[in-house]
Structure 1
Amino acid sequence: MPENSPLQNFINNTYVDSTATTFFDIINPVDESVVGRSPASTAEDIDAAYAAARSAATVWGRTTPSARQQALLHIADAVEANRDRLIDAQVITTGQPRHLVSTEEVDTTADQLRFFAGSARVLEGRSSGEYLEGYNSQIRREPLGVVGQVTPWNYPLMIAAWKIGPALAAGNTVVLKPSDTTPLSTLLLAEIAAEFLPAGTFNVVLGDAGTGELVASHRTPSLVSITGSVRAGIEVAVAAARNLTRAHLELGGKAPVIVFEDADLDVAAETIATTGLFNAGQDCTAATRVLVAEGIHDVFVDKLLAEVAKVKVGDPDDEDVLYGPLNNPRQLERVAGFIERLPGHATIATGGSRIDRPGYFFEPTVITGLQQDDEAIQQEIFGPVITVQSFRDDDDALDKANDVDFSLSSSVWTSNHKRVLRFTRDLDFGAVWVNTHIPLTAEMPHGGFDGSGYGKDLSMYSLEEYTRVKHIMSATD
């Protein structure tokens, strides 16, 4: 591709020009420089990508689980071999610290692809047998065929792996639209994977929200999966429903982090500071809504502030940096807007402002004094902002924890085993961590309820969502 030319889509294992007449700049959030131009891919582009995927489905869908496993293992190895290229492609559009992208994105992507490589060979169903006299029944678990996927900007490479891993392992072909602000690492992933996949198996189309709507509303896919905002998830669900297409939605979060008197407060404060501010708080599972027992509220806030004061914000090449800039000017405006609209009873204990330098950097921020119905408690800020409330007793803690529209993740900090059992049962969230917050593993499902959407990423549950079940009955007499 000539220098300064617009980015291209990746269809049928090669880069192709978009038919778009509308283009937009891709911005480096560290210094606000233009690092590329993306097409707003058209309906014609989406048709071409789905046609390629549909053609490839008859090839890839009939490969053996062993062959799919080997392909995914090769892709995982190639991801690690191209570590520096992937880091460069991602950092220039996210501003994330290079050490974070290396471990949390490249290493995790390779690991999760290897998990799904293995999972391709262990799909299960009811055993063949005579469940009705004179007839034999068996179950076939088959790929859906073609799937459409839309990924966000906060973890572009890793979440792309969450999408393509189970889809490819189950024998599906993919049309994926990455975020408009962070497409480069996803494009490179498709290029790397192409060596090991039939042409048309993994296609990437670039564009804005309008392009995403075209991907979701197309008649070809049997499932559309998105990780994104609640607004975007609703739009995808509506678009998919018009074609009776399955939808898989991993949306926002507002994780409660419940700290009791009998918790290790030093460990809790250190962990919450890190997991609340990690990736600039741009994580739907981030520990940003802290609920602390009344009797230790002030002590815990002091401990938390001491840990937050240690957090370093800065450029991607600095190995001591916990987080870099917010991803884009819209997100910076969103986070700043929450601060500007804080009610009078709230207190900004630290931070609260944009950092005075080029780029979309925002201070580590802690807010106290908020009430349950305040906007900053009820809505996802998606920035480096931690709120701290107090609760009276166990019932009050549960009521406040569950009193939001999101149900993705949560954590409880206590040494009381009976309390652990009660809270892990009664917290209305898809994940509950005990005396920790945010770790994920490929073997366990990730996904929420209610306003956080439905469907699971990771684990065998995710793989099963990318399959359909067929009953075959044969007369035996």
Structure 2
Amino acid sequence: MVQNFIDGELVDSASGATMPIVDPATGEKYGTAPISNEQDIDNAYAAASRAFADWRRTTPSQRQKALLAFADAVEANAEALVAAEGRNTGKPNHVTLAEEIPPMVDQIRFFAGAARILEGKAAGEYLADHTSWIRREPVGVIGQVAPWNYPMMMAIWKFCPAIAAGNTVVLKPSDTTPVTTVMLAEIAAQHFGPGVLNVVCGDRVTGAGVVAHPTPQMVSITGSVAAGRAVAVSAGGHLKRTHLELGGKAPVIVFDDADILTAAEGIAAAGYFNAGQDCTAATRVLAHAGIAEDLTAALAEQARGAVTTFGRAADDEGAWVPPVNNSNQLDRVLGFLSDVPAHATVPAGGNRQGDKGFYVEPTVIGGLRHDDRHVRDEIFGPVITVQSFADEDESIRLANGTEYGLASSVWTSHVSRAIRVSNALDFGCVWINTHIPLVAEMPHGGFKASGHGKDLSMYGLEDYTRIKHVMAYTG
């Protein structure tokens, strides 16, 4: 049974209500988590407020030391975290151990160092007989809501920069994936102290309560566009700052001078990783008309070779595509697959896999048009779509013709074309001849309906600070 983590302790919810925790690989319940109510949220924010009074006064070197110790502890507890994450998400253990734990630990260590190098305008006499300087201060208590696609990693992205900057946090994990977030909070409390990081589990009502509460000075969410809009409206009532990392529908532009097999391999890896449940997933391919048919065939071959974990052991290293996270998401993905337009083709996949768990066959849908909902809406499953374009100008117009603006990629052997197109794309990240790699030093965040604010990098840390001008009369 999962519990809340408030003021350094595991505690039961005041509500007494619980929700099931389901293994996506089997579709079976294996535990419960609390559905927290207003009293739980009040308690968590009270703990965060008490902790903030002291945590804000810690020096950057003290916060660095605590974060480095936390990173070491996460690394030491990697196997337990991976096993819990695997059961709660259906992800294969070997993939999580290799592809999530190392970047998580690296990101914690990055923010540990970043805490010591905050910048501002140089102190000086900008007015005669007066000296001015800039202070970067923590914002205060932060309310955060994390998603279910990367429960551990997204928790790290959320609370580590906030805590590194001197804030304290109340974090609400997804209702379907609370397990490892609570585990991380238990580990963190040994190094940050009680109340610096608090976790309240629950449903959408709980999440809305975390956002609407009057205590936090800032709220941050990773989630859907609809959820982000609701958060923005709620936060507006108290004029809270918002940090919104929302959905995506990443265009993958493949020109006729690209190596088709290399592109297909890279796109499939970035499209089917985590069953396509990634806001940056390479699932919306725009192929030059001269290679669209060949690229579709190459992607279909990749789809047929992408092995899911269905019917396999959690430590089977031959499988790498997990189930989708929950029954609602399964229904959503299957809804798209049952509604493929007549002018399109499905050369690979297109069906549910098996009758237990939430598995979907890795799928390719070719011959789509820009107004098809498969192209325009975020499917968030192992489904790669292909549409064609005639020339460079049309590729840019089609790529930018979406409400989303999170990530994109360009595949070409022409350097000048790569630069031109990357400049023209209206997305927070553009990869060239690759798709999906992230590093702690570079920002992640979108434009338009994909939200605002940055995760990772110094920009992510600075988002959790406020700027104060101090002026002293010296005459």
TM norm structure 1: 0.98
Aligned equivalent of 1:331, options 293, 305, 329: 329
Match of 1:84 in 2: 79
Match of 1:343 in 2: 341
Match of 2:20 in 1: 25
Distance in 1, Cα, partners of 2:290 & 2:100: 40
Aligned equivalent of 1:208, options 179, 186, 203: 203
Distance in 1, Cα, partners of 2:138 & 2:268: 42
Distance in 1, Cα, partners of 2:303 & 2:15: 45
Question: Is this contact kept in 2: 1:325–1:362, CA < 8 A?
Answer: yes
Does residue 64 (structure 1) correspond to residue 62 (structure 2)? The answer is no
In the TM superposition, residue 34 of structure 1 has moved relative to its aligned partner by 1.1
In the TM superposition, residue 341 of structure 1 has moved relative to its aligned partner by 2.0
Match of 1:38 in 2: 33
- Secondary structure of 2:263's match? helix
- Secondary structure of 2:292's match? helix
Match of 2:394 in 1: 396
Match of 1:416 in 2: 414
Q: How does 1:93-104 map to 2 (within 5 A)?
A: 93-104=88-99
Q: For 1:99-153, what per-residue CA distance to the aligned partner results, in whole angstroms no more than 9, with x for missing partners?
A: 1211222221111000000000000111111100111101110001110111001
Sequence identity, in percent?
56
Match of 1:3 in 2: none
Question: Is this contact kept in 1: 2:300–2:363, CA < 8 A?
Answer: no
Aligned equivalent of 1:232, options 223, 227, 235: 227
Question: Is this contact kept in 2: 1:35–1:92, CA < 8 A?
Answer: no
Where does the alignment leave 5 or more consecutive residues of structure 2 unmatched? Answer: none
In the TM superposition, residue 345 of structure 1 has moved relative to its aligned partner by 1.4
In the TM superposition, residue 370 of structure 1 has moved relative to its aligned partner by 1.2
- Secondary structure of 1:194's match? helix
Distance in 2, Cα, partners of 1:349 & 1:302: 7
Question: Is this contact kept in 2: 1:59–1:198, CA < 8 A?
Answer: no
In the TM superposition, residue 85 of structure 1 has moved relative to its aligned partner by 1.1
Q: For 1:399-441, what per-residue CA distance to the aligned partner results, in whole angstroms no more than 9, with x for missing partners?
A: 1101111110000000111111111110000000000000000
Q: For 1:293-331, what per-residue CA distance to the aligned partner results, in whole angstroms no more than 9, with x for missing partners?
A: 111111111222222221100143211112111100000
Q: How does 1:217-296 map to 2 (within 5 A)?
A: 217-296=212-291
Does residue 172 (structure 1) correspond to residue 170 (structure 2)? The answer is no
Letter in 2 for 1:19: A
Letter in 1 for 2:63: R
Letter in 1 for 2:162: A
Q: How does 1:349-364 map to 2 (within 5 A)?
A: 349-364=347-362
Aligned equivalent of 2:177, options 148, 170, 182: 182
RMSD between superposed Cα atoms in Å: 0.9
Question: Is this contact kept in 1: 2:303–2:349, CA < 8 A?
Answer: no
Distance in 2, Cα, partners of 1:68 & 1:373: 50
Where does the alignment leave 5 or more consecutive residues of structure 1 unmatched? Answer: 1-5
- Secondary structure of 1:45's match? helix
Q: For 1:233-264, what per-residue CA distance to the aligned partner results, in whole angstroms no more than 9, with x for missing partners?
A: 11111111111001111010000000011112
Which stretch of the first structure deviates more once superposed, 318-327 or 171-180?
318-327
Distance in 2, Cα, partners of 1:28 & 1:175: 26
- Secondary structure of 1:373's match? coil
Letter in 2 for 1:369: G
Distance in 1, Cα, partners of 2:118 & 2:78: 31
Question: Is this contact kept in 1: 2:145–2:171, CA < 8 A?
Answer: yes
Aligned equivalent of 2:320, options 322, 329, 349: 322
Question: Is this contact kept in 2: 1:151–1:177, CA < 8 A?
Answer: yes
In the TM superposition, residue 29 of structure 1 has moved relative to its aligned partner by 0.6
